[in-house]
Amino acid sequence: MIELPVGPDDRLALLLDYDGTLAPIAPRPQDAVPLPGVTDILRRLTLSSRYRVAVVSGRPVAQLSRWIPAGPVLVGIHGAEWLLPGVGRRCLKLPPQARASLEAFSRRLREMLPPESGFLLEHKMVAVALHYRLAAARDAAAVLRRARELAVELLPPADWAVVEGHKVLEVRPRQADKGAAVRWLCSEWPAFTPVYFGDDATDEDAFAAVNEAGGVSVLVAKRPRPTAARYRLKDPAAVARCLARLAG
């Protein structure tokens, strides 16, 4: 791992994924809470004129608001939902036909899940996530295969993306994209060098967008893997230490 090329004297736009970055991955999504001290660090960073701060997550904004202090921009559901301080909340509106297709996908998927088998189906307004961290490997393989088939059957690929991450398969609108969200934030904060921290396949678009903007892309992972990120920190604790150093 290489020391990140940022310091307390830099003007930075700090763009942070949530799960696996600010909070350790947990067996159930509701159990993933930030490491001790992280919320205070984010509060101090937000109050500093040297920084702009945004949390860019696949979670809905309502969930992020439980753990993130008021101040940072909150980008939920991969860019389908935003909470902008002083402006308010805005959300992507699906056309009726697209809403019906997503509802049909969610219903069919729920009907085929084995009872009490460790699967968790999360409906996030304009996206659906299937979590299988607690499921047996054999059950997970069969259910994932069927979920992919259902997505092909019910959701036109021109309109929907199927993304697989850490023990989760998620269907979301094509226009809900972390890369697009990061590009918008960079355009809003042109005087600040963007630094994006993320841990999953859903963060790759954001890494690419930050690289295009001349910023710093940071993969949070114990081991190297193929990625667009140019730097690496090993875990959320290392992210917290980096943020604390910047908050100073």
- Are 171 and 117 in contact by the 8 Å Cβ rule? The answer is no
Cα–Cα distance, 183 to 213 (Å, whole number): 8
Using alpha carbons only, what angle is made at residue 17 by residues 39 and 235, rounded to the nearest 5 degrees? Answer: 80
Q: Which of 10, 17, 31, 200 is catalytic?
A: 17
- Are 6 and 12 in contact by the 8 Å Cβ rule? The answer is yes
Residue 92 burial by Cβ neighbours in a 10 Å radius (0-12, 13-18, 19+): middle
203 tagged catalytic: no
3-state secondary structure at position 19: strand
Cα–Cα distance, 211 to 194 (Å, whole number): 9
- Are 90 and 74 in contact by the 8 Å Cβ rule? The answer is no
| Active site members | 17
